[in-house]
Amino acid sequence: MQLSAQSPERAAEPALSTHTSSTKTVAERHFFKFLLVLLLVAGTAYASISYTRFKFARSEIAYAEISKEMLAANSFIVPLYRNTACIDKPVLNYWAIIPSFKVFGVNDFSARIPALLASLSCLAIFALAIRRIWGADVSLLSTLVLATTSRYWEFSTLCMTDMFLTLFDMVALIAMYVGLKSESKRFASFALAAVSMGLAVLTKGPVGLILPAFAFFVYLVLTGNLKILKIGQVIACVVIFFAVAGPWYVAAAAAVDTSSNIGAWLWHHNVERFFGSAYECHNDPFYMVGAFFNGFAPWCALVPIAFADSVRRWLKKSDPEESKTELYLWIWLLLTTAFFTLSRGKMNYYDLPAFPAAAGIVGLHLNRWINESNAIAKGYAWLFSITLILGGFVAGYLLPGVTNNEDFSAWCMMPIGLLLTGGAAIVALKRKHYFAPYVLCSAGIAVTLLSFAIQVHPAMALQAPGLQYIQTIKEHPDTKIALHKDFGTTVDWFDVTLFHTDRVPTQLDNGEQMTEFLLQKDPVYVIVPENRFDELPDAVRQKVTVIANKPYMYEKNDVGFLFRRKGHLMGKVHLLLVTNMSKEQSDKTASR
């Protein structure tokens, strides 16, 4: 429904919606039921992965540890790391994690709950916005695309800042678009955008303002709409933005006068990172393009096809109003990717805030292709379905090794789920139904996530001796801890040990340091690879006790590694838990 039909005062306002069908589809009639089911399935899958993921991934441990220390010290302005002021990121993600720690306890899953809620909020708001513009069919399909992209579901299960940044950037861009289209709602919409960008800056820093504000400005320039910006409204929105983002920055600047202050963080982690004098990495000019296509899988191949279709429709002027709306999404997507392409320091997940735009574009075009029984819709559905079936066979080949269990019932959920959903999608295609296969294939992704949570993650946890050793050490609160560098620096095991034991482990770089640490009078525990322990003199090894000796995954487990080892994750080297106490003394010192 167009805004011009609502009142005489709005007659001159452009339409927010480009969806003009007068016949309600099944999706339109049952939109909220379908959306609720989608959110429940996505939430269950994300929460299951979050709960069973047995170890922090990527940079999660930093956010969890800093939040834990802030809570313990009642320091809600200054982030703390190892009891020292540490402004590595703004405070909002810590503020979100701290209440979760207070309610659910200090653990991995409770640290991830805020990101999970942000993810589901993002999906819900995105679905409602796309429905308002292009109708329920496009909305549900676009939301399905967004929810099942590999990077989106991954970061829905991690306690990092990026899901909050994605949420706040999306809300800001949606609000600014509403303000553009509706003069009566303009100031309220722009004010909401200012609040959202302020929250984004409290989450990730200046990039939370730069990305949405610049994308909107470029769109206004290209569409000749700069005149909608009134100086009074702009000033008011600037005041609102600083009222949201400014107080913490001012308070933190006053509270921290060391080298870890706000000014140093703004310069070092933003300016220097962008221009490459700090954290210069991944300088391949096409790195972010590759990262986007990898993260937007399995829908990534549709993006360039949609771009070509968009250009064709723009040149033909098929639907100018729809093309303008689509242009907004393309600017959102391309500018975000270009910004981080220009940055000298970047990671493959930096473009996550662009994923809602890409999902909206793919959903719009895919829905059109489905309605037209287009060869693209048919072909991609066939490809998707066959991939799921092949994935089922691959899962059946690898999972006995991954789970270290030949019992079919211990790993059957994923291959059965993939074969059933892929097979059902092919049946739907045979009957010339082209929407159902995409729903079924998305269900296959959900089944994959749930099977990881229910069957794979627990089995992998049993094969993670590092975590088991840390839990043993946790039961001995009066002991000192050390990790050999060959183990401890591989995946942030030092910080993982600190998070679970509240003790900072010592790093051992060589045999001399390990000998000195093990032979001290105080009770100690050392986690060390067996090959490094074997380098110690016999006299030293005879004076200490090996509490546990288990294989561990020392090598990097890429796809080639998994196939070469038929899914078996363990490397050749064993991991040892060593103490200078006897086995009996170790058992006696355990806390009860």
Report the distance separating Cα 104 and Cα 26, nearest Å: 40
The number of helices, as runs of H, and strands, as runs of E, in the chain is: 29, 7
DSSP state of 363: H
Q: Are 365 and 305 within 8 A, CB to CB?
A: yes
Q: Terminus-to-terminus CA distance in the chain, angstroms?
A: 66
Residue of 120, 127, 203 whose CA lies nearest to 169: 203
Q: Are 74 and 478 within 8 A, CB to CB?
A: no
Q: Are 170 and 354 within 8 A, CB to CB?
A: no
Q: Are 322 and 206 within 8 A, CB to CB?
A: no
Tokens 């995105």 belong to which residue?
126
Give tens-digit pLDDT for 519-573.
Answer: 999 999 999 999 999 999 999 999 999 999 998 875 556 677 777 778 777 777 8
pLDDT of residue 353: 96
pLDDT of residue 274: 73
Spell out the long-range contacts of 147-150 with Cβ–Cβ below 8 A and sequence spacing 24 or more.
147/38, 147/42, 147/123, 147/442, 148/298, 148/299, 148/442, 148/445, 148/446, 149/295, 149/296, 149/297, 149/298, 149/299, 149/355, 149/359, 150/294, 150/295, 150/296, 150/297, 150/298
The values of phi and psi at residue 590, to 5°, are -65, 135
pLDDT of residue 582: 84
Report the distance separating Cα 342 and Cα 324, nearest Å: 26
Q: Are 574 and 551 within 8 A, CB to CB?
A: yes
Q: Are 119 and 155 within 8 A, CB to CB?
A: yes
Ranges under pLDDT 50 in the chain? 1-13, 592
Report the distance separating Cα 9 and Cα 201, nearest Å: 36
- The angle formed by the CA atoms of residues 105, 92 and 128, to the nearest 5 degrees, is 95
Task: Calculate helix-pair angle for 320-342, 287-295, nearest 10 degrees.
Answer: 120
pLDDT of residue 535: 92
Q: Are 410 and 455 within 8 A, CB to CB?
A: yes
Q: Are 70 and 76 within 8 A, CB to CB?
A: yes
Report the distance separating Cα 495 and Cα 62, nearest Å: 7
- Tokens, residue 572: 């050749």
How do the domains of the chain map onto residue ranges? 3-278, 375-461, 465-589
Report the distance separating Cα 297 and Cα 546, nearest Å: 45
